[in-house]
Amino acid sequence: MSCYVIGIGGTGAKCVEALTHLCAAGMLPRENLYCLFVDPDRSNGSLGRAKITLGQYQDCSELQLGDKTEVFGTKTSIGDPHVWSPFTGKQQPNLGDFFEYATLEGRVDKSAQLFDVLFSDNEKKTGLEMGFRGHPSIGAAIMARTVSLSKTEPWKTFRNKVSADTTAGQQAKIFMFGSIFGGTGASGFPTIARLIRNELRLHEVELVKIGGVLLLPYFSFVPPSEKKELRAVSENFLMNTQMALQYYQSRQKQHDIIYLLGEANPTSVQYCLGASEQKNDPHFLELYAALAAIHFFTGKELKKGYAMIARQESDYVKWLDLPDEKNGNELKKHLIHLARFAFAYLSVFFKTWEAVRKSGGAYRAPWYIDYFVKDGGRLERAAVEAKLDQVKHYCESYLLWLANLAASVGTKTTVQFVNYAAFAESKKHGDRNVIQLRPQFLEKEFGNLALPEEKERPNDLAKVWERMSEGKIDARGAIGLGKFFNALYKVCAE
Amino acid sequence: MKHAFSLAGMFVVAVVFYLAFVLVLEGQWLLPQRVIPVAGVRLDQWLESFKMWAGMGIAAAFLASFLWYVVAQIVYRVNNLSDAATRVVWFLFMLIPALMATAGSIFTRQAQAGMTWAYVFYFLNSLLCYYVATVFFSPSSHKYTPLLASALRPSNWIPYSANK
């Protein structure tokens, strides 16, 4: 089986980011995941962060950790180009130009009149380089005209891969992430699904499953009042959502399964039109979205009907509220395990490795001698440095993502997942709070990363050091640096 | 289990040193041919005195290695490089067997000839016993603190782990 994921718009990209972290935590081991991003605003900040995270994940997944290790166990590939935009090659696209409205108007064509009925002047003339500005009607028209599975990349490769799967008799599962209330996600989600469905040949219908998650409004913003330009308006989100849901219920039958996610306490985010400034913090709802993808990819049978889950207390989100068969414990095990690994690596092992490299005295860190001198003597130094740096960058991204989920800045909901204060802190940047990693982690909190806190275990990090120094971790199948990371990951689970 | 194994290992090293080096190699083979006690002291009396002080030197070496293990394991529970700089502490514990060897050198019955051999053996026995015990049985977080331990000690030869 192959898994395909399409992140549509900024929210879609953030969900791919969450899915990437779940893959890193071993939630989708030994699967092939092909990722596509769809966004007319290629410089969107949330999209940029998702791409970086995916790239960091791919670097880490090159570590040869052995077959039995689930961490970084999903093989991922990303479309080329990484982000598909309907505006390739056009500098300042607008809807009017795109449909050659001036030409239509000159011919006194009926289609020009229809165009006038459907779109206001403002919608026709506004530049779309920063997305569809909360207007799915614009996005749907453009997407339907530009997405071509047989002509343009990365759709061509995507189509070929799906064909290869079905020709080999394998199932291909396609999952989409998008918001129902915005511009890009709301327009791309049904349109792309329809285009894919239309392309399927008879023998493929049974083998190709299409699923997706739609996020209902979960954030709001206050735009500057003086500007009158075309833009998303969060007051319209609920109305847009209502209309869209009616559409999905009555007309949209392209998906085999759709997951709907909503949040009663919307997060307040800073308004921005698009581009790199549109970089909203990760939100716990995106974790739910990623879990929906895992459910879709790993579910043996897609059951018909409707299922609903909700959390126990409206103001709190706990592990218990997460949808897994073990009351959130399975997910907790994976995410906390990876958090401990990232914490230990960043706060102790990477720093020690750097210090030994600069000033010597390796005898003080027996694990360094065992894994980097005795065992890793044949490894090329530059390659080792590059790989350790790559893992560091991924670990930073992961902890920052986790901290943002837990901190839930701008919402009334308290997320009780992780004791993020152990490794991150909230700092005032202008008029908003930003979560960033602490320069020095609170090492005594290492044993208490999961909430609710249990008894204090201040020596846990020293135990990890001791176990690593024993050199007794069974890392069969791991090669080179993979032995070190395999051992550290296993020790952090104990 | 791991700690019991390591401490037992240190004890075995001390016993082997006493039996193999003090009683057999030095007490029966090397020293009787090289030492001539002063007038009024028989060779067997001198050897008894040597064995006693040599034994105390080895006991001091065992005590030092035992204390090193306890201090390294309990006081120096490290998770960073600066706290792990314990080589000075390891050297300081070496003073215990060294002092006992010095005491042995001073208080052993004197001899007309071969006394230098006794001095050499006192120091060699006790310091080597401490060295071997700590090279092979130091706590894993400090296993390469003894000089040249990284070359001598197999990286994972202790059959027990900290979590067992």
Three-class HEC string of chain A:
CEEEEEEEHHHHHHHHHHHHHHHHCCCCCCCEEEEEEECCCCCCHHHHHHHHHHHHHHHHHCCCCCCCCCCCCCEEEEEEEEEECCCCCCCCCEHHHHCCHHHHHHCCCHHHHHHHHHCCHHHHHCECCCCCCCCHHHHHHHHHHHCCCCCCCCHHHHHHHHHHHHHCCCCEEEEEEEECCCCHHHHHHHHHHHHHHHHCCHHHCCCEEEEEEEECCCEECCCCCCCCCCCCCHHHHHHHHHHHHHHHHHCCCCCCEEEEECCCCCEECCCCCCHHHCCCCCCHHHHHHHHHHHHHHHCCCCCCCCCCCCCCCCCEEEHHHCCCCCCCHHHHHHHHHHHHHHHHHHHHHHHHHHHHHHHCCHHHCHHHHHHHHHCCCCCCHHHHHHHHHHHHHHHHHHHHHHHHHHHCCCCCCEEECECHHHCEEEEEECCEEEEEECCCCCHHHHHHCECCCCCCCCCHHHHHHHHHHHCCCCCCCCCCHHHHHHHHHHHHHC
Mean of the per-residue pLDDT values for chain A?
85
Q: Are residues A254 and A400 in the same domain?
A: no
Q: Are residues A413 and A304 in the same domain?
A: no
Single-letter residue type at A413:
T
Query: Of the ranges A111-125, A213-227, A346-360, A450-464, which is most confident?
Result: A346-360
Q: Are residues A275 and A407 in the same domain?
A: no
Domain that holds residue A440: 330-493
Please, are residues A37 and A13 in contact by the beta-carbon 8 Å criterion?
Answer: yes
Best residue in A469, A483, A490 for a mutation probing chain B (most B CBs within 10 Å): A469
Backbone angles phi, psi at A233, to 5 degrees: -125, 120
Q: Do B150 and A356 touch (CB under 8 A)?
A: no
Confidence of residue A400 (pLDDT cuts 50, 70, 90): very high
Instruction: Examine the fold and report which residue of A278, A308, A338 is the final residue of a domain before the chain moves on.
Output: A308
Stretch (H or E) spanning B36: strand B36-37
Does the predicted TM-score (pTM) go above 0.90?
no
Encode pLDDT of A259-272 as tens digits. 999 888 878 776 66
Question: What percent of chain B lies above the pLDDT cut of 90?
Answer: 77
What tokens were used for A278? 């549109």
Q: Tokens 């709190």 belong to which residue?
A: A316
Q: Are residues A257 and A372 in the same domain?
A: no
- Say if A119 falls within a structural domain: no
Confidence of residue A30 (pLDDT cuts 50, 70, 90): confident
- Say if A123 falls within a structural domain: no
Q: Do A364 and B85 touch (CB under 8 A)?
A: yes
* Distance between CA atoms of residues A408 and A411, nearest Å: 6
Q: In the 8-state DSSP scheme, what is residue B111?
A: E
CATH number at residue A161: 3.40.50.1440
Q: What pLDDT is attached to residue A107?
A: 65
Confidence of residue A86 (pLDDT cuts 50, 70, 90): confident
Across residues A338-345, what is the average pLDDT? 97
Across residues A456-480, what is the average pLDDT? 86
- Say if A446 falls within a structural domain: yes
Q: Do B140 and A466 touch (CB under 8 A)?
A: yes
Q: Could you tell me which residues are beta bridge partners of residue A36?
A: A6
Q: Are residues A365 and A290 in the same domain?
A: no
Residue A94 has pLDDT above 80, yes or no: no
- Say if A26 falls within a structural domain: yes
Q: Do A462 and B141 touch (CB under 8 A)?
A: yes
Q: Do A369 and B150 touch (CB under 8 A)?
A: yes
What contacts A255, CB < 8 A, 6 or more positions away? A176, A193, A210, A211, A212
Write out chain B residues lying below 8 Å of A363, CB-based.
Answer: 87, 144-145, 149-150
- Strands A316-318 and A414-416, how do they pair? parallel
* Distance between CA atoms of residues A112 and A61, nearest Å: 52
Encode pLDDT of A271-301 as tens digits. 665 555 666 789 999 999 999 999 999 886 6
Chain B residue at shortest CA distance from A349: B80
Listed range (A77-91, A272-286, A415-429) with the worst mean pLDDT: A272-286
Q: Are residues A161 and A281 in the same domain?
A: yes
Q: What pLDDT is attached to residue A77?
A: 93
- Say if A38 falls within a structural domain: yes
Listed range (A50-59, A92-101, B6-15) with the worst mean pLDDT: A92-101
What contacts A433, CB < 8 A, 6 or more positions away? A409, A410, A426, A427
Confidence of residue A120 (pLDDT cuts 50, 70, 90): confident
What contacts A446, CB < 8 A, 6 or more positions away? A340, A343, A344, A347, A422, A457, A460, A461, A464
Q: Tokens 């309907």 belong to which residue?
A: A86
Q: Tokens 């030197």 belong to which residue?
A: B57
Write out chain A residues lying below 8 Å of B79, CB-based.
Answer: 348, 443, 461-462, 464-465
Confidence of residue A350 (pLDDT cuts 50, 70, 90): very high
Residue B37, SS3 per DSSP: strand
Q: How many domains does chain A have?
A: 2
Q: Do B163 and A366 touch (CB under 8 A)?
A: no
Q: What pLDDT is attached to residue A14?
A: 95
Residue predicted with more confidence, A329 or A488: A488
What tokens were used for B65? 């290695």
Q: Are residues A281 and A336 in the same domain?
A: no
Q: Are residues A303 and A176 in the same domain?
A: yes
Write out chain B residues lying below 8 Å of A355, CB-based.
Answer: 81
Please, are residues A17 and A6 in contact by the beta-carbon 8 Å criterion?
Answer: no
Closest CA to A370 of B70, B140, B133, B90: B140
Q: A186: burial class by Cβ within 10 Å (0-12, 13-18, 19+)?
A: buried
Q: Do B144 and A362 touch (CB under 8 A)?
A: yes
* Distance between CA atoms of residues A120 and A113, nearest Å: 12
Partner A contacted by B145 (CB < 8 A): yes
CA A241 to mean position of chain CA atoms? 22
- The answer to ipTM > 0.85 is yes
* Distance between CA atoms of residues B132 and B16, nearest Å: 11
Residue predicted with more confidence, A117 or B33: B33
**Of B79, B156, B161, which has the smallest distance from its Cβ to A462's Cβ?**
B79
Chain B residue at shortest CA distance from A471: B156
